[in-house]
A and B are shown apart, each in its own frame.
Chain A
């Protein structure tokens, strides 16, 4: 039987991209006019319970994005490479966890990468106009020609995803294969996944599909199975089905209730305006003082007194 969310094979004729700057809903350090159309919200669902840790998604990601990571060193863990890099946008993270209730060893494998937040912290922190954009379908994308490599997106991200290249000093992360989605395809990782642990479709479809999966998991004894679609960042366009949704942190430190750091909100909110206001007020005070009190000039008698003092004739 054909899988319901099987992604189409690439077309053999030329296709036009259906995703452009007209679909931007947010643009870093600048504003965009409201788009004329609203694309259907899309999502990638990662069903952790179905993942076999084969890394086909990583291979497909490298392949599609034409990236190669350096040959690394085995330090006795399964992660390869050891962390996300400017070339590796997605990474299988492996955790050996002993379930205290069953005393069973559970091998938790989570595909890490950009979550495509509805309220993206990277975009909020970015100082360079147009270096980060959000499309109306939910994709958050980096526009490298506008990126200045400052690393502010790293500070803005609640999931510690962006990586700055030491080669071209630009920030890199998962694009949700925006270039593939633009022509009616799905992300390369979802296309490559042999167990359908990675599924791509509309957010609504994915939520429904997740519901079925959770029902199945609960029937098999995972009482706390659920989705990870954190409301603290307005929900995400990459979300998980977890067998232990009550403890996301056991999945290689998946943050429990992530949100944009209050420090970042202060820095990019109040501080930005208060800072400019304080500088402006200080300058205005100087100007006003000069207008009202006039210059403080040395008087001829000051020069006389100085001369007397210098000649040793003053007190």
Chain B
């Protein structure tokens, strides 16, 4: 028996075997607060960004107290999101490292969508879809903060040429559209796979949920890091 730390077990992950049903601690309080700050920022950014993206959505600026304030606040929310997401990145990056089984999972995506999990390899803390959401969001947020700073007229209008700003504004809009789509996938998956949302609200999932969707992770938690 060798003692080892599985790459996808995070501090605080724990099985409460005495409960009925068995419960599993999936996210610590600080991870959840970190997540919801990021989530709120992302939603506010999407609403304020879309209001300036398409004229038919300009009415969304009223949610932020008008066009001027929307223009003022959007970049600052972006700064909050960037640092908040950095926190999530530092917490979750290791558990999202890609491994061979993720390719198999991805190749059988039609079984995923048809809820035939018996055909899929056992999944650790995150499946390939979740990992793709994580890495694509990480990359998109870097692109968005960079291009966003380039078009932050109030402070950086003289730093970049108009032509650079034209490229940045197009990149920013494109990355934002992709990020919103990734967000839709993220939220939909949490809704479709029942029992998921409690992981981010109360921090816990049921043992059955972990058995069904993240069996490898559950086994790792039960054996307590001992390889049997």
**Which residues of A are in contact with B by a Cβ distance under 8 Å?**
29-30, 127-129, 146, 148-152, 154-155, 157, 160, 164, 166, 169, 261, 263-264, 266-267, 271-272, 274-276, 278-279, 282-283, 286, 289-290, 293, 295-300, 302-307, 309-312
Contacts and interface: CB of A to CB of B under 8 A. Distances in A.
A296 B176 CA distance: 29
A154 B67 contact: no
Contact of A278 (B52, B55, B181, B207): B181
Given A148-B70, A278-B181, A306-B208, A267 B170 contact: yes
The 7 closest A-B pairs by CB, nearest first: A306-B207, A151-B153, A303-B208, A148-B67, A302-B208, A286-B188, A29-B55
Contact of A296 (B21, B192, B218): B192
B67 A128 contact: yes
B182 to A, nearest CB: 9
Contacts of B210: 306
B208 A305 contact: yes
B162 interface: yes
Contacts of A267: 166, 169-170, 173
9 contacts: A129-B58, A146-B67, A279-B177, A289-B192, A295-B194, A300-B208, A303-B207, A306-B22, A306-B218
Contact of A169 (B15, B21, B154, B177): B154
Given A127-B53, A148-B67, A279-B180, A263 B167 contact: yes
B184 A286 contact: yes
A233 to B, nearest CB: 16
Interface residues of B, number: 55
B166 A149 contact: no
Identify whether the interface residues of A are mostly helix, strand, loop, or mixed.
Answer: helix
B218 A309 contact: yes
Contacts of A146: 67
Nearest to B115: A296
B162 A155 contact: yes
A296 B193 CA distance: 5
A291 to B, nearest CB: 11
Contact of B17 (A261, A293, A310): A310
Contacts of A169: 68, 71-72, 154
Contact of B212 (A129, A263, A299): A299
A249 B92 CA distance: 54
A86 B88 CA distance: 42
Given A155-B165, A306-B207, A275 B170 contact: no
Contact of A264 (B66, B154, B166, B211): B166
Interface string B177-219: 1001100110010011111000000000011111110000011
Contacts of A263: 166-167, 169-170
Contacts of B222: 309-310, 312
